[in-house]
Structure 1
């Protein structure tokens, strides 16, 4: 069995386990390979799929997600919410009151997922949503993996463990923030079973070298095999805080002083 075929099996079984008690799923959606893969799997599992995207007007995520949701035939249930300045000003004050850390990326992610939760609440889509967090950690999605490549596999593995620990901590922070709205988020690909499996995949299937600007190769191959549009499957990584322009807005307005 090819590695990508084996990966597909684990992807479907993991998502199926997380969604077995619900006919409807809500997904935090950017249109990139990670969220598109999750959306396509849920659709194939005959779930009623709702997609929620947030971003400032004309941001990458707003524009790109609309194109991909249409390609996946999921545009009917796709909410692409354009963030306004007052949204961020309100959200950041609340988020910072809930966080014990002052890490900018954590603040940005909490703001994004709090806004997604508010949209879910407003549209009465349920009390939970799924995210595709975990792929970047497990499949060398972050650009910094390239700088660790020349130091060998042990260096990459150590960095991967650090990123997984950080991601777990950040998702706990997000859970604490969105609990105010009685909304929960679930990360199928950060489950113990999937993490253990993903770690068995040789690094050569994830990153090719220190000049590898794309990375996550076997995941992208799996995505295309199950019918994720190539435009999404081969799209370079763009974290939610950048794709939504939240990061740019916070830097411009000196978030630390808000």
Structure 2
């Protein structure tokens, strides 16, 4: 049963308050797909649903691709919405049988080692792997710029701004570079209509109070009202889970990790070691669980790969240096951020 959302009904005698943004988004999608055969990274949610409905009007052809298990939330929702849109749909199925090979291929193609990044980018990897079209369009950026993440809800102004900046920072420095490696690996052209210069300029002109979600149902309210105004109420009310959960990816990886007696991150690390470092860190010593800034992790591991060092080896070298020096006096501790 679909959940209802509180979408404001606009009187036909009143101008639509997001008319400018609506036109900008339509034009961005039109410019991206016009005269092309396009594949859509399709989750069955609001972002990809609205993008697909608009693309259908301008592209030579539109084919929807969804990555997920056969019974995952995204698979069920995508199949339902593809029928409503009357567009061809293909499931790029993941399962316990193939997910490890897919992860290894993705690691080799992108150099990505961050477990979180792998969990949510594996879906695009599988879509590009399955797609027959040379052009793939994605709704990436909608969560970060139209405030679709649950972490944006019920935040103080300071915390909201901090979360927003961190989300955009990760999008631009981690997600997009990984996705461009994926596209290059499969010879695809990857397009981001929600991140066009015109759309982002329009976002900056919106009232911040319209973007900041007051509750879970008001996330991405601008896009929901645009979908409603364009005549797609069934898209405006689409519920959505994060891709790693909606696709079933995280559940599969956790199950495989448990079978091997490993935690999620340990399992991903073992695959990274196997692919990037010839397995020379597999099964070594004790496990250290540490949380560091994701941007720092990505940038540091790029250097480690050039040095042919695994993260495990780098951490062990650091610990040995601490033992030798009897401390870490030579390492300047970063200042704590005010919260």
Question: Which category describes the TM-score, using the shorter chain as reference length?
Answer: 0.7 to 0.9
User: TM-score by structure 1 length?
Assistant: 0.86
Q: What is the rounded CA distance, in whole Å, between the counterparts of 2:92 and 2:152 in structure 1?
A: 32
For the Cα contact (< 8 Å) 1:110–1:177, is it kept in 2?
no
The separation in 2 between residues aligned to 1:105 and 1:228, in whole angstroms, is 33
Gaps of 5+ in 1: none
Matched, 1:237 2:240: yes
Q: Paired residue for 1:139, among 146, 149, 154?
A: 146
Distance 1:109 1:184, change over 3 A: farther
Residues 110 and 47 of structure 1: is their aligned pair in 2 closer, same or farther, counting only changes over 3 Å?
Answer: same
Change (3 A) 1:6 1:51: same
Q: How does 1:180-191 map to 2 (within 5 A)?
A: 180-191=185-196
2:5 maps to what in 1? Answer: none
Establish whether residue 163 from structure 1 lines up as the match of residue 167 from structure 2: yes
> Max radius of gyration: which structure?
2
SS of residue paired to 1:235: coil
Aligned to 1:89: 100
Partner of 1:227: 231
- Cα distance in 2 between the residues matched to 1:108 and 1:130: 20
Superposed, which structure 2 residues align to 1:116-135 within 5 Å? 116-120=127-131, 125-135=132-142
Contact map agreement 1:32 1:235 (CA 8 A) in 2:
yes
Contact 1:27–1:35 (8 Å) recurs in 2: yes
Aligned equivalent of 2:66, options 46, 53, 69 = 53
Distance in 1, Cα, partners of 2:250 & 2:111: 20
CA distance in 1, matches of 2:213, 2:250: 29
Q: Deviation of residue 38 (structure 1)? A: 0.1
* RMSD (CA atoms): 2.0
- Equivalent position of 1:177 in the other structure: 182
CA drift at 1:119: 0.7
What does residue 195 of structure 1 align with?
Answer: 200
